[in-house]
Amino acid sequence: ENATRELLVRYGVVLALTEAQATEFRAGRFDDAGNRARVKDTLAKFEKDKLPLPEVCRYAADGVRSGAAKGLDLEFAARVLWAEAMRPR
8 A C-beta contact, residue 33 and residue 69: no
pLDDT at site 89 = 77
pLDDT at site 84 = 92
| pLDDT tens, residue order, the chain (89 aa) | 677 887 788 888 888 999 999 999 999 999 999 999 999 999 999 999 998 998 889 999 999 999 999 999 999 999 999 999 988 87
Cα–Cα distance for residue pair 62/39, rounded to 1 Å = 11
Closest by Cα among 15, 11, 85, 77 to 50: 85
Cα–Cα distance for residue pair 37/26, rounded to 1 Å = 22
Cα distances from 19 to residues 12, 51, 75, in angstroms, run 16, 33, 16
